[in-house]
Structure 1
Amino acid sequence: MIGVLIVDDDFMVARIHEGFVRRCEGFEVVAVVHDPQAAVEAAARLQPDLVLLDVYLPGTSGLDVLPQLREVAPDMDVIVVTAAREADTVRRAVRGGAVQYLMKPFSFADLRERLRHYQDTHRALGPGGAAAQTDVDRLFAGPRTAAAPLPKGLSAETLQLVEQVLAAAGHDLSAAEAAELAGISRVSARRYLEHLSDAGRAEVRLRYGEVGRPERRYAPR
């Protein structure tokens, strides 16, 4: 099992990311923290395999905290998850040893792809092992993501929002409930939820009442 430490100052975003990680087989969340000091203390105490590290932390940059994390937990790896898009920030993350750089907002599928890549490559290259060229190629090439085009009228940003709302809810939602949480119309929410279902990223559950058609409810897969 790969232990993951989540470091993000936004409590809601951290909760969403925690839900994403918990849905990935072979990974467990060992702690969720929201400030630099707590991150260093958790890393020293728990020795996580992997840290999901935000750049924007209270009073400092996550990249400034990165050397401290490595000092207290030398064997850990880091995936930077942030809204920061500046080239200098990306270069600093690479030079600091981040194995991936994932820009917010992202979907469960985006994170899952990177976690699977991490699981298949970095963990396979453990102490005492011998790497084949194919393993090294996969490690340095990074995950291959090919996003399928969305149906007409759907946007990637709103799709990510609906998927995040679904993941954060903790229970299945109707289209009306998802619409209220996402701040969009019920009709739009229904279209996005059905698309997630068709893509295998959500499941549909039917709730039967005394009269009328059963209510369609949606849960993350």
Structure 2
Amino acid sequence: MIRVLVVDDDFMVARVHAGFVERTPGFTVAGMTHTGAEAIEAVGRLRPDLVLLDIYLPDMTGLAVLQELRASPATDVDVVVVSAARDFDSVKQALRGGVVHYLIKPFRYQDLRERLDHYAERHRRLGALAEPEREDTRQEDVDRIFAAPVGLARAVMPKGLTAETSALVRTALGAVGDEGLSAAECAERTGLSRVSARRYLEHLVSIGAAEVRSRYGSTGRPERRFRVTA
């Protein structure tokens, strides 16, 4: 069984999320906490496999909790963010903190179930790599661990791109509205290279999640600016 710690400042919401976890085969609730300090203490005491972590907590943000967990060599735990926070900085910090998934409230049981099932499959495949009789890890083994499930990817990702980073780029576009971003501006906001940022932007255009327009200045070539579709 995969043991889950549920962290949410709202007692009723925590109970609902705990109920979702218990409904999912292969998962059980190790505990519930309602503050950041309680969450950090519970991870050290209960040793869960996974934390469902809210960002809005009364004493510290969930992102600060994530930083504390990552800074401690004694806390080897995975994290799924479940929060109403949908701003660009929160998504970026969560991604860079190594969260497994980021789920925006409110959500249905099925939304969480898909992500838990994906986590369980990744957990199983990663465990298989540690078997002593197994030969050296192959690239295809690693690819299967890092790949997003079809139901969450929403579209077939081109080679070299990931659904998680695509979501980060789309969040960056959404944060600036109609003004949009150039590839260089997107690279600066997301920490990607300019070439990678352009690839993700063009992918979002190809699946209809973004559009591109040319903006003409006084001199030189027109600047291509990307924005999310309405």
Normalized against structure 1, the TM-score is what? 0.61
Alignment of 1:143-154 (within 5 A): 143-145=149-151
Report the Cα distance in structure 1 between the residues aligned to 2:15 and 2:76, rounded to whole angstroms.
25
Q: Is 58-67 or 43-52 further displaced after alignment? A: 58-67
CA gap of 1:9–1:73, structure 2 versus 1, over 3 A, is farther
CA gap of 1:72–1:8, structure 2 versus 1, over 3 A, is farther
Report the Cα distance in structure 1 between the residues aligned to 2:87 and 2:137, rounded to whole angstroms.
34
Deviation of 1:49 after TM superposition, in Å, equals: 0.3
Residue number in structure 2 paired with 1:128: 130
CA gap of 1:69–1:86, structure 2 versus 1, over 3 A, is same
CA gap of 1:86–1:21, structure 2 versus 1, over 3 A, is same
Report the Cα distance in structure 2 between the residues aligned to 1:20 and 1:31, rounded to whole angstroms.
13
Residue number in structure 2 paired with 1:66: 66
CA gap of 1:132–1:19, structure 2 versus 1, over 3 A, is farther
Contact kept, 8 Å, 1:47 with 1:73, in 2: the verdict is no
Report the Cα distance in structure 1 between the residues aligned to 2:113 and 2:123, rounded to whole angstroms.
15
Report the Cα distance in structure 1 between the residues aligned to 2:116 and 2:78, rounded to whole angstroms.
12
Secondary structure of 1:109's counterpart equals helix
Report the Cα distance in structure 1 between the residues aligned to 2:44 and 2:22, rounded to whole angstroms.
22
Contact kept, 8 Å, 1:44 with 1:72, in 2: the verdict is no
Secondary structure of 2:76's counterpart equals coil
Q: Alignment partner for residue 146 of structure 2, among 136, 140, 154?
A: 140
Contact kept, 8 Å, 2:125 with 2:145, in 1: the verdict is no
Identity of aligned residues (%): 58
Residue number in structure 2 paired with 1:18: 18
Alignment of 1:1-221 (within 5 A): 1-70=1-70, 71=72, 73-126=74-127, 128-129=130-131, 131-145=137-151
Deviation of 1:37 after TM superposition, in Å, equals: 1.2
Contact kept, 8 Å, 1:43 with 1:73, in 2: the verdict is no
CA RMSD of aligned residues (A): 2.1
Report the Cα distance in structure 2 between the residues aligned to 1:12 and 1:57, rounded to whole angstroms.
14
- Alignment length, in residue pairs? 147
Structure 2 spans left out of the alignment, 5+ residues: 153-230
Report the Cα distance in structure 1 between the residues aligned to 2:18 and 2:73, rounded to whole angstroms.
23
